[in-house]
Amino acid sequence: MTEPHETRVAARDGGSHDIPFNVPYATGAEYEYIREAIANAHVSGNGPFTRRCTERLERELGSGRVLLTHSCTGALEMAVLLAEVGPGDEVVMPSFAFPSLPNAVALRGGVPVFVDIRADTLNLDEALVADAITDRTRVLAPIDYAGVGAELDTFVVLARKHELVVIEDAAQGYGAFYGGAPVGTKADVACLSFHETKNVMCGEGGALLVNRPDWVERAEVIQEKGTNRRQFFRGQVDKYSWVDLGSSYLVSDIGAGFLWAQLEQAREITAKRLELWHVYHEALEDLEDTGRLRRPVVPDNCSHNAHMYYVLLAADDDRDRFIEQLARAGVNAVSHYVPLHSSPAGLRYGRVQGSLDVTDDVSERLVRLPLWVGMSADDAGRVADVVRRAVDRLAA
Ligand SMILES: *Cc1c(COP(=O)(O)O)cnc(C)c1O
């Protein structure tokens, strides 16, 4: 981790420097709040900073209760427990996603059902979901790729019709909006990540958004090892005991103190990331116009949080060579998901519905570019120039 004003980057010949893919940002206030958390003498879960963070998130999101967790992965496990997914129950999700979601399902004996994504947003294709619904389906689980909202209105309508639960993997979605509402507020439950690689972070952290009031009490029990400890501390029961299934899904108040510093600057963080995102987007426009690559698509009903900037190379371009050429010019770019349906555990625990052509195609052409708060607009401009030269070389 670096101080805000001293992002260290290796010097290269000619005075330019390497541009890492990601450098975690710290506001500087984290130290003070961690010291305060220690002085509070409450460093375990549900301490003063956890309360501050959850109250702020509840106010901002305005849709339900927020439970701070040690990870989005943990929040997804809680969501799957809340939805009462059991052996053989099916959960419809994109194959172009992170393993935490299908893993949470498989841990309960459930079956991840992999469906293709939309070619524009790379989110679960709402037009294909109805065909994936069987009498074993319990949950629809879209993710908001790159902080661009999935088509939640459609998923919610489908879920009502078939009596299903909607779990939203909004790991990348904090600070983004869909249909005028904060991402994560339209599903029954949604999961945020505050992992180091996300826009606002505390190293390892996450949150469960419980948008159904009738699920709040069970969510608290699941988070507290299956006990009614929270009710006990509120004076609602006179001793606490094991009442249901659960685990430990809390984050320490030291982590929450770190997160508080970042939440205080969340607007500035998003604004800075958006600025860099737009530098890329404008600089690469003509490459898209000439069909050399494709830029991200953000539908009109979405306002994204610049979690990521990616490009899709042309179908016959050699991605490894492209990434290598960027690296040689000091730019660290990376690919993204191995499709879940072709991963070892996906083959063992999941099932495929329909064609996954878009997933297979996109996952082999996608390249993510550096984007982090300490980066300058000049750095982004330089990356765009390097991308341009590498694309020209691929065509040659
Ligand atoms: C980062 C991420 C996760 C995992 O988040 P953790 O907080 O590290 O558990 C899950 N799903 C998606 C889509 C992610 O991007």
Q: What is the pLDDT of residue 10?
A: 44
Q: Which residues of 113-149 are buried (b: 16+ CB within 10 A; e: fewer)?
A: bbbbbbeebbbbbbebbeebbeeebbbbbbbbbbbbb
Q: Is 270 in the pocket of ligand 1 (CB under 6 A)?
A: no
CATH number, position 326? 3.90.1150.10
Task: Please say whether the dihedral angle defined by the alpha carbons of residues 111, 117, 122 and 126, taken in this order, is positive or negative.
Answer: negative
Assess if residue 7 is contained within a domain: no
Q: Which ligand 1 atom sits closest to the C-alpha of 172?
A: 15
The 10s digit of each residue's pLDDT in 272-289 is 999 999 999 999 999 999
Report whether residue 183 contacts ligand 1, using a CB cutoff of 6 Å: no
Choosing from 264, 295, 323, the residue where a domain stops is 264
Residues 273, 241 within the same domain = no
In a domain, 24, yes or no: no
Which tens digits make up the pLDDT trace of 130-141? 999 999 999 999
Tell me, using a 6 A CB cutoff, whether residue 207 lines ligand 1.
no
Q: Is residue 8 part of a domain?
A: no
pLDDT per residue of the chain (396 residues) written in tens, 0 to 9: 444 434 444 444 445 689 999 999 999 999 999 999 999 999 999 999 999 999 999 999 998 999 999 999 999 999 999 999 999 999 999 999 999 999 999 999 999 999 999 999 999 999 999 999 999 999 999 999 999 999 999 999 999 999 999 999 999 999 999 999 999 999 999 999 999 999 999 999 999 999 999 999 999 999 999 999 999 999 999 999 999 999 999 999 999 999 999 999 999 999 999 999 999 999 999 999 999 999 999 999 999 999 999 999 998 889 999 999 999 999 999 999 999 999 999 999 999 999 999 999 999 999 999 999 999 999 999 999 999 999 999 987
- Domain count across the chain: 2
Reported in sequence order, the residue ranges of the chain that DSSP labels E, i.e. its strands, are 65-69, 90-94, 111-115, 137-140, 165-169, 177-178, 181-182, 189-193, 206-210, 293-294, 302-303, 309-313, 351-352, 366-369
Report yes or no on 1 lying in a domain. no
Q: Are residues 152 and 284 in the same domain?
A: no
- For 138, phi then psi, to 5°, come to -120, -30
pLDDT value for 6: 40
Check residue 17 and give its pLDDT.
Answer: 86
Instruction: Give 309: exposed, middle or buried? Use CB within 10 Å, 0-12, 13-18, 19+.
Output: buried
Closest atom of ligand 1 to 195 CA is: 7
Whether residue 178 is found in the same domain as residue 229: yes
107 and 138 in one domain?
Answer: yes
In a domain, 9, yes or no: no
Residues 255 and 325 occupy one common structural domain: no
| Same domain, residue pair 222 and 370 | no
Task: Among 264, 283, 299, identify where a domain stops.
Answer: 264
3-class secondary structure, 80? helix
> Cβ(303) to ligand 1 under 6 A?
no
Q: Are residues 317 and 187 located together in one domain of the fold?
A: no
Cα–Cα dist 50/68, whole Å:
7
The rounded mean pLDDT for the chain is 95
Instruction: Say what the pLDDT of residue 190 is.
Output: 98
Range of the domain at 202: 30-264
The answer on 213 and 92 residing in a single domain is yes
Residues 246, 270: one domain?
no
Closest CA to ligand 1's atom 5? 72
- Looking at the structure, do residues 259 and 388 belong to the same domain, yes or no? no
Closest Cα partner for 334 from 371, 382, 367? 367
pLDDT score at 396: 77
Q: How far is the CA of 169 from the centre of ligand 1 (A)?
A: 8
CA 29 to centroid of ligand 1, rounded, Å:
25
**Residue 6 falls within a domain, yes or no?**
no
Q: Which pLDDT does position 395 carry in this prediction?
A: 81
- 207 and 246 share one domain: yes
Cα(1) to centroid of ligand 1, in Å? 19
Q: Which CATH number is 95's domain given?
A: 3.40.640.10
Tell whether the torsion through CA atoms of 32, 203, 171 and 140 is positive or negative: negative
Same domain, 253 and 316: no
pTM of the model: 0.95
Domain boundary among 215, 234, 264: 264
Question: Would residue 110 count as lying in a domain?
Answer: yes
Residue 352 within any structural domain of the chain = yes
